[in-house]
Structure 1
Amino acid sequence: MRKPQTTSSADVLAKAGIDLHLDLQGSGLRAGLTDALRDAVRSGRLAPGTRLPASRALAADLGIARSTVTECYTDLVEEGWLTARHGSGTRVAERAEPRRATPGSASVEPRRRPVHGLEAGAVDFAEFPRAPWLAAARRAFAVASHSAFGYGDPLGSMELRTALADYLSRVRGVYAGPGQIIITSGFHHGLTVLARALKGRGVEAVAVEGYGLDIYRAVLGDEGMGIPPLRVDEDGARIDDLVELRDVVAVLLTPAHQFPTGFALSTERRAAVLDWARSHGGLILEDDYDGEFRYDRKPVGALQGLDPEHVVYFGTASKSLAPALRLAWMVVPEYLLPAVAAAKGRVDTVSVVDQLIFTEFLTSGAFDRHVRGRRKNYRRRRDELIAALAQNAPDIHVAGMAAGLQAVLVLPAGTEASALRAAARQGLTVSGMAEFRHPAADARLPRRDALVVNFSSVSDSAWPGALRALCAVLR
């Protein structure tokens, strides 16, 4: 006897069309429906992730044209209130957080929650290559030995380290054998391990760029390191500041694409920092956080390839794939390997299974294809951002656009705080340059009023609405 096929409640709702109460007001059907749905999401009556009725079903329930519902859904997708994906229907966006009323707050205007997140550091998680990753997993599991599912090498799978050695040499000009590569669970983990190893060798301070992520400074500070700042300008970090720091023998740099200003370390300063490392017995910590994303300039190779004995190279899959994988790597000079291995510990902290899959993803060429696709998409968004600002805010200077995932919008002096408030009123979250300034930076490091706008962090469907909101802020 054939076993009866089970049907989930979600399938029933998808086929029958869910019920949805909407109170349409106003003279225009499209505007009334759009306002009613927006208010239902904003108030929290429609929770994030809720699937909306099919356009045909809702049109029949309301007695209106299906095209009206379709146009309404499209408007709200572009604004970021809804998301639409083939096979998944139209749903309430996860970022559209509810604003539920609390007792005694009826007369208080509730604060608007962000609709579009363009803050620095985020990525569009919808871009994760699910099908190619699953295909790589199937291939990897099909040929993996039984022993591959054990605890693994604490320094990382040798198969992955070998694949990375080939990839980094080909794409970033990194010079290293597999034995010099250590797999970590993210850049922060790698930086923590290296700081611990340097501390054990008597290093007391690591110089950092005057503008940068505070989490990097915190990681070094947690390991007892001093973190003196270097000035940053249009040629990258000021290496002459480093020369003046007599007791500092290590420096953390983002030379290919300084974060957050977007400028590359100039040829002269690249040579200068390598000269400093050789003459002082110094060590350069090279954070190549978005090295794969170059647009309209010749790719800048890694510093490590110019002097492998004086540079530790850091790379990560967080920007190119997803931070959830917790996959990163560092290339360590041979003389530092014992200290770094001891600092990392005896137990591997990165999923051996994910290393297995990523190895196949790399060697099959799937990673190259994925990065090329994302690079093309991000370049399109970058060009659309430049064009929109030229039309709507021509006085705003755009910098840092030759590479990376964000742009710097230079503002008139003293206007950054007001621009951030205006963005919040538009339901837009962006980063201000001030949040990246080193707290110990002195007057020699000019304060820059600017917005750091991440054009890679929202979905394709939400990008037009986010761009319109940004233009409204700057217009």
Structure 2
Amino acid sequence: MVGSWTNSGAASDLLIPLDRAAPVALHRQIETAIREGVRSGRLPLGASVPPTRTLAADLGVSRGIVVEAYQQLVAEGYLSSRPGGYTTVAAGPSPAPPQAPVRVPPEVRIDFGYGRADVAHFPRAAWLRSLRRVLTQAPDDRFGYASGGGVPELRLALADYLNRVRGTNAAPSNVVVTSGFAQGIALVVQVLARRGARRIAVEDPSADDDAREHARAAGLEVVGVPVGPDGVDVAALAGVSANALVLTPSHQWPTGGVLPPPARAAVLRWAREHDAVVVEDDYDAEHRYDRAPVGALQGLGPDRVVYAGTASKTLAPGLRIGWLVPPAWLVDELAAAKVRADRGSSAVDQLALADFLAHGEFDRHLRRMRPVYRRRRDALLAGLARHLPGFRPAGVAAGLHLVAWLPPGLTEDEVVAAGRSAGVGVGGVGRYRLGPGPEGLIFGYATLDPPAIEEGLALLSGALH
């Protein structure tokens, strides 16, 4: 690439250090500095170097010393000079030594990866209307630092929505706005550790990149509680001693089980007996297809449950908005931890979501998306039955993914590798386990249209057979 320097540069631009006490002649020092600049690429090909008079004046040496240095560099091919013209760099850096060929894994064309809402359906026009209203109508003081709990408008709107739709028992003053669930669980772990917590229980299997990760970073012991077809095994939980339990009771991640009422009561009993906190990760309960809504566990035990929600699975993860509804005795500590973390989430985005909720746009968006996701879920179920009939789907009534248990003789690693060789991305359940368990795959379908789902399953089947 030809350089853009001009001949108005000075010695400081060339980074030429001169040591007058050194035994090396000054013109040799100038040569060495320019030569190294060319070799490293710091002086690009075609760049002009300062005229000899200018450089000599800047360095405090005679012009003859600079002329001698330039002449030597021209002779070596580093510089080029012509009468009446500029002196320019005539060479580039040495080519890099040849590298061994890098093995590039086959490209994944159809990705059944989990964890993504279809952001192509993000309601841009409605969100823009909310932003415009906020920017024209919000009081000036809302654009200062928010409290650790969040702006009042969003805390009120979330409490109203969650009480109405999720059956929570939430007061606006108990809502703490976070930057997604990831920050929310990190704040909960920090506060519990400060209060003396030593052990946290999680479902097995469960996500490996949030509660478990933050708990270990805080020095807490992580113990797994087995999961059955209907969520966490409360019989196994009875034998666990922990300061907190992280649950996905409305749609267990990743197996999809729904915790029934007797088990929910048992979880709350366990929490009271062990003076423990239950963190309810309500990550995708709004997406349901074949069942009636299941209320939040927090509504049954607001004194023991920290409810956690997020806009990532309903609107877009890029918004980075989540929320906690902790027991009253934890609110101030969580709000203070939020302030320490980042001085509060974006006030504009909080106000926009509050307006979005208040004007019913969130409900309308969910009503539009449920049939979209249901069609994709149905296409996945039909395709599995057609192309991979030995796979047993589970957790299909809600959410944005399902688990398919594998038939005897197949392992997760074999299927994942076969899929990748065919350009199909799919993940196994095993990486999320703390103990042994059956082999299965996680199929996310939120971002794939039915033809892509059909093609992906056909390719996977072909790769296996």
Distance 1:383 1:458, change over 3 A: closer
Instruction: Determine the C-alpha separation between the residues in 1 that align with 2:456 and 2:116.
Output: 15
Superposed CA deviations along residues 368-411 of structure 1, whole A, max 9, x for unmatched, are 11111111111111111111222222222111101111011111
1:225 aligns with: 220
AA at the equivalent of 1:452: I
Instruction: Determine the C-alpha separation between the residues in 1 that align with 2:319 and 2:143.
Output: 17
Q: 1:313 aligns with which of 307, 313, 317?
A: 307
1:354 aligns with: 349
Residue 303 of structure 1 deviates from its aligned partner by 0.3
Q: How does 1:92-111 map to 2 (within 5 A)?
A: 105=101, 111=105
Superposed CA deviations along residues 423-455 of structure 1, whole A, max 9, x for unmatched, are 1012111111111112xx2xxxx4221110001
AA at the equivalent of 1:447: G
Residue 139 of structure 1 deviates from its aligned partner by 2.2
1:451 aligns with: 441
Instruction: Determine the C-alpha separation between the residues in 2 that align with 1:436 and 1:355.
Output: 33
1:406 aligns with: 401
Residue identity (%): 43
Q: 1:148 aligns with which of 132, 142, 150?
A: 142
Instruction: Determine the C-alpha separation between the residues in 1 that align with 2:374 and 2:323.
Output: 26
Residue 473 of structure 1 deviates from its aligned partner by 4.7
1:187 aligns with: 181
Superposed CA deviations along residues 257-278 of structure 1, whole A, max 9, x for unmatched, are 1101111112221111011122
Superposed CA deviations along residues 95-125 of structure 1, whole A, max 9, x for unmatched, are xxxxxxx9775xx986411112211212322
AA at the equivalent of 1:138: R
Q: How does 1:164-203 map to 2 (within 5 A)?
A: 164-203=158-197
1:341 aligns with: 335
Superposed CA deviations along residues 314-346 of structure 1, whole A, max 9, x for unmatched, are 000011111111100000111112322232235
Contact 1:388/1:471 (CA < 8 Å) preserved in 2?
A: no
1:157 aligns with: 151
Instruction: Determine the C-alpha separation between the residues in 2 that align with 1:401 and 1:474.
Output: 24
Q: 1:418 aligns with which of 411, 414, 417?
A: 414
| Aligned positions, number | 365
Distance 1:472 1:199, change over 3 A: same
Distance 1:109 1:240, change over 3 A: closer
Instruction: Determine the C-alpha separation between the residues in 1 that align with 2:348 and 2:103.
Output: 50
2:432 aligns with: 436
Q: How does 1:272-421 map to 2 (within 5 A)?
A: 272-345=266-339, 348-413=343-408, 414-421=410-417
1:120 aligns with: 114
* SS across alignment from 1:231: strand
Residue 280 of structure 1 deviates from its aligned partner by 2.5
1:469 aligns with: 459
TM-score by length of structure 1 reads 0.73
Instruction: Determine the C-alpha separation between the residues in 1 that align with 2:107 and 2:329.
Output: 51
Contact 1:160/1:358 (CA < 8 Å) preserved in 2?
A: yes
Distance 1:422 1:183, change over 3 A: same
Distance 1:182 1:133, change over 3 A: same
* SS across alignment from 2:252: coil
Instruction: Determine the C-alpha separation between the residues in 1 that align with 2:365 and 2:343.
Output: 27
Contact 1:118/1:429 (CA < 8 Å) preserved in 2?
A: yes
Instruction: Determine the C-alpha separation between the residues in 1 that align with 2:207 and 2:104.
Output: 31
C-alpha RMSD over aligned residues: 2.0
Instruction: Determine the C-alpha separation between the residues in 2 that align with 1:311 and 1:256.
Output: 14
* SS across alignment from 2:255: coil
Instruction: Determine the C-alpha separation between the residues in 2 that align with 1:262 and 1:103.
Output: 47
AA at the equivalent of 1:300: V
Superposed CA deviations along residues 149-174 of structure 1, whole A, max 9, x for unmatched, are 22222220110000000000011001
AA at the equivalent of 1:381: R
Q: 2:229 aligns with which of 234, 239, 242?
A: 234
Instruction: Determine the C-alpha separation between the residues in 1 that align with 2:273 and 2:414.
Output: 47
Instruction: Determine the C-alpha separation between the residues in 2 that align with 1:263 and 1:344.
Output: 32
* SS across alignment from 2:278: strand
Distance 1:256 1:141, change over 3 A: same
Contact 1:204/1:225 (CA < 8 Å) preserved in 2?
A: yes
2:90 aligns with: none
Contact 1:117/1:428 (CA < 8 Å) preserved in 2?
A: yes
Residue 256 of structure 1 deviates from its aligned partner by 0.4
Contact 1:124/1:459 (CA < 8 Å) preserved in 2?
A: no
Residue 131 (1) aligns with residue 131 (2): no
Instruction: Determine the C-alpha separation between the residues in 2 that align with 1:154 and 1:361.
Output: 21
Instruction: Determine the C-alpha separation between the residues in 1 that align with 2:460 and 2:325.
Output: 39
* SS across alignment from 1:312: strand
* SS across alignment from 2:416: helix
* SS across alignment from 1:215: coil
Superposed CA deviations along residues 184-208 of structure 1, whole A, max 9, x for unmatched, are 0011111111111111111111100
1:99 aligns with: none
AA at the equivalent of 1:350: S
AA at the equivalent of 2:443: V
TM-score by length of structure 2 reads 0.75
Gaps of 5+ in 1: 1-101
Gaps of 5+ in 2: 1-97
* SS across alignment from 1:309: coil
Superposed CA deviations along residues 350-371 of structure 1, whole A, max 9, x for unmatched, are 1111111111111111111111
Instruction: Determine the C-alpha separation between the residues in 2 that align with 1:133 and 1:268.
Output: 41
Residue 313 of structure 1 deviates from its aligned partner by 0.1
Instruction: Determine the C-alpha separation between the residues in 2 that align with 1:419 and 1:297.
Output: 31
